[in-house]
Amino acid sequence: MQNLTEYTANITTTNGNLTIILKVCVVTPFFCIFMYFILLMLHTFGSHRQFFDSTRYILFAYMLINDTLQVLSSVLLFLFVMANLQFPIVYCAPLLFVSTATFLNTPLILATMSLERYVAIFYPLHRPAAWRVDRIWIIIVTLWIISCILPMVDFILLRPKPGVDVRTTPVPCKTFVLNATPIQTLFKVSLNGLFFATVAIIILFTYIRILLETRKMRQDRTSVVKALNTVLLHGFQLLLSMMAFTFPITENLIVLHISWLQEHISFFNYFCFGMLPRFLSPLIYGLRDESLRFFMRKAMPCSSAQVNPVARAKPLTN
């Protein structure tokens, strides 16, 4: 009987190891492809000074950096969980801080980029000072400060469980480590809802105002229509970001129709509604831009494209 128990335990352990390897093999290629395109975009930005003459491209580069930090921290946390590694809270908290702050920063960036399109259409010659190229860093720093509110509150309200030393006791590197009290959970849910609701209202407002302006204008309708499509794309990106909040709904649906283990359900939610939207959002926006796509194609190692004089002379429209 003891041998049978040991044999069953060995099978369970083997199946568990194969499942972990399979999950890592699914996540790693997507992460590598994402990093390749992100680094290619950032290299393109750094190699061509004209991109820094447009607030739209500066904000997009900032979004790329933010998404890179978010995906990198998320994948590291995923690998720690898969390897069953545990750390004291003092070492785990900075990684959780970066993951939470960058997650909240994404919708704020989308709202800012939509407002930038609004300002470019309605104030093309007399832009407010904060929206100029030399002052846009003020808005970027403000976004970082706002997005750091939630993780800072998590640290302030953190109350470790009895017997847990934040400097020596190893714990799983997960968000529930910092969200140990009902007050923290309520604050986090309320703030997340406020963030995304505010961003949705801003994007909807800019879309409607630009749509009304499109009907009024008889000249230069092309640039206004492009701005309208850009704002609509930001709304789609926001929808992708909000998919992370569908975890409870999808978990209940999967439990009702499929008999999966909880760890498999969590991985499915993480990959489909956590990682894939983060991968797709910057790629869709970046590859859609003609100027950026042209220079990215030239920067690729295997590219043999020749510089088209017309394309070279084509200005970067703001």
294: in domain:
yes
Question: Residues 224-242: pLDDT tens digits?
Answer: 777 777 777 777 777 777 7
User: Higher confidence at residue 60 or residue 311?
Assistant: 60
Q: Is the pLDDT of residue 25 over 60?
A: yes
Torsion of CA 158, 163, 164, 170, to 10 degrees: -160
User: Higher confidence at residue 245 or residue 130?
Assistant: 130
Mean pLDDT of the 293-301 span: 77
Q: Is the pLDDT of residue 252 over 80?
A: no
245: in domain:
yes
Q: How does DSSP classify residue 301?
A: T
Report the chain's mean pLDDT, rounded to a whole number. 76
200: in domain:
yes
Structural contact between residues 82 and 128, judged by C-beta atoms closer than 8 angstroms: no
Among 176, 198, 200, residue whose Cα is nearest residue 188: 176
Structural contact between residues 247 and 269, judged by C-beta atoms closer than 8 angstroms: yes
Question: Residues 181-204: pLDDT tens digits?
Answer: 677 777 777 777 787 888 888 888
Whole-angstrom Cα distance, residue 227 to residue 234?
Answer: 11
Q: Is the pLDDT of residue 205 over 80?
A: yes
Report the pLDDT value the prediction gives residue 144, as an integer from 0 to 100: 92
Percentage above 70 pLDDT, the chain: 77
45: in domain:
no
Q: How far apart are the first and last CA of the chain?
A: 74
- The per-residue b/e assignment along 259-280, b for 16 or more CB within 10 angstroms, e otherwise, is eeeeeebebbbbeebbbebbbe
Structural contact between residues 27 and 72, judged by C-beta atoms closer than 8 angstroms: no
203: in domain:
yes
18: in domain:
no
Please give the single-letter amino acid code of residue 309: P
Q: Is the pLDDT of residue 141 over 90?
A: yes
Total structural domains within the chain: 1
The CATH code of the domain that includes 128 is 1.20.1070.10
Q: Is the pLDDT of residue 53 over 80?
A: yes
223: in domain:
yes
Report the pLDDT value the prediction gives residue 313, as an integer from 0 to 100: 37
Q: How does DSSP classify residue 270?
A: I
Torsion sign over Cα 232, 234, 240, 241:
negative
User: Higher confidence at residue 288 or residue 105?
Assistant: 105
Task: Assign 158 a pLDDT band (cuts: 50, 70, 90).
Answer: confident
Stretch among 27-41, 196-210, 234-248, 263-277 having the lowest mean pLDDT: 234-248
Range of the domain at 145: 56-313
Supply the angle between the helices 276-288 and 55-82 in degrees, to the nearest 10.
160
Report the pLDDT value the prediction gives residue 8, as an integer from 0 to 100: 29
278: in domain:
yes
Q: Is 289 helix (H, G, I), strand (E, B) or coil?
A: coil
The β-bridge partners of 86 are 172
